[in-house]
Amino acid sequence: MQLSELAIRSTPIPGLLVVDLPVHGDSRGWFKENWQREKMIAAGLPDLGPVQNNVSFNQAVGVTRGIHAEPWNKFVSVATGKVFGAWVDLRQGPAFGTAFWCEITPEVAVYVPRGVGNAFQTVEAPAAYSYLVDAHWTETAQSEYTFLNLADETAAVPWPIPLERAELSAKDLAHPRLAEVTPVAPRRTLVVGANGQVGRALMERWASRGDVDGVGREQLEIADPDSVADFDFSPYGTIVNAAAYTAVDLAETPEGRRSAWATNAFGAQRLAQAAREQRAVLVHFSSDYVYDGTIAEHTERESVAPLGVYGQTKAAGDALVATWQDHYIVRTSWVVGEGKNFVRTMASLAERGVDPAVVDDQIGRLTFADDLAAVTEHLLRVRPEPGVYHLSTEGEPLSWAGIARNVFAATGHDPERVSATSTAEFYAAQERAEGDGTISPRPRSSVLDLSRIRATGFAPRDQIVALRAYLGL
């Protein structure tokens, strides 16, 4: 048995990878690590996360099976014997119909992505053909198979043993030619919380795509375990969680506390579990409220230290999302989207001649929902290292009063009409006016370090430029 080094080789079919396996042998026989997650991921193999191991034992030379494209990724190898493997890309896209073949021995394995047709022919028997898959077989899954005829003239697979002399099943003989095959569509994208500020921005950005579904609370209420259990996540390879409980002050009340935990923490956990089961990438939005605001500029490496219930539930949700390896947590601050918000309120006050007193001791930068949609698309396209990424506008940090003055100035009004007040004074006045004692503590500094997201190639917009664009100026 010849020894080799672990190596990953690409092929003409995107995502189809040939794996050279180290095999260690002596007079007694041989040993190999057929699946070694840590080493293989380090070498460049996707993290398969197998949940089922199947073995096809083939007693005779010439046994031929395929060509089958299945709704999961798989890792094929042989324990003994030798097979001639053939693969045809049956996925929708420019590589549709591309073929590749090679021999599989104990020293060679192949990673086969979802939607790529797989076939093999035994050339040295007996052959024990093994394949790890990342989803369980079900009758529903079997209905999603796509097939191609072994003798398809376009693929033109050079079978070592001519098919007329090979052993095939009647089903495999009846599969269609390539011209009759419906390409395997990409897995779909699900936007959860599609009716919120960020959800609406995402749906607008992806309006021209035919593979995006948006759901509101009526279709999927992540705070409700039964709603999540009844929802079919199987079509989705990407889940974007734009759902959140954001009533910061009400989260300090008994009822609000329960709702905040149910949505922001345990709802996020349920989506992480759904993403794990479907091997889907999960994008989740976090908040500057996970920080206590005592550090002038927060980095992603900073330990969270939330001051109030809202921040506590968001921090818990972040930790639960991070239990699934293929995740992006976009941590943001002072979000502005469509609907009622601080910027619109200040513009309205300026127009109506109202001179507001605005908090001047909380410092940060605005984040516009359109930019959160743009960075989500960027992360899903570039696929940098999973983890937490900060996103806000950039430029000089401002207080809420400073932002209000910029809104007044941008809309043609005197910015000096905006007076400054402290957080304590503002909420004391609000409590006197409304008789409501449910006030949550706020971080004094919400300034986010943006170097990590910049390193991925995404350029945040300047705060004032983005503000003027939002106001239509």
Q: Which residues are marked as active site?
A: 68, 131
Give the integer Cα–Cα distance in Å for 23 and 3: 5
Asked if 1 contacts 104 with a C-beta cutoff of 8 angstroms, the reply is no
Asked if 35 contacts 11 with a C-beta cutoff of 8 angstroms, the reply is no
- Report in angstroms the alpha-carbon separations of 56 from 111, 119, 120, 162: 17, 12, 11, 21
Look at phi and psi of residue 272 and say left if phi exceeds 0, alpha if psi is from -120 to 50, else beta: alpha
Sign of the torsion formed by the C-alpha atoms of 32, 38, 44 and 48: positive
**What 3-state DSSP class applies to 187?**
coil
Exposed, middle or buried: residue 385 (CB in 10 Å: 0-12, 13-18, 19+)? exposed
* Angle made by CA atoms 178, 14, 321, in degrees to the nearest 5: 120
39 membership: H or E segment, kind and range = helix 37-43
Of residues 293, 258, 342, 225, the one with CA closest to residue 441? 293
Residue type, 236: Y
Residue type, 251: A
- Residue 445: φ, ψ to 5°: -115, 120
- Residue 255: φ, ψ to 5°: -70, -45
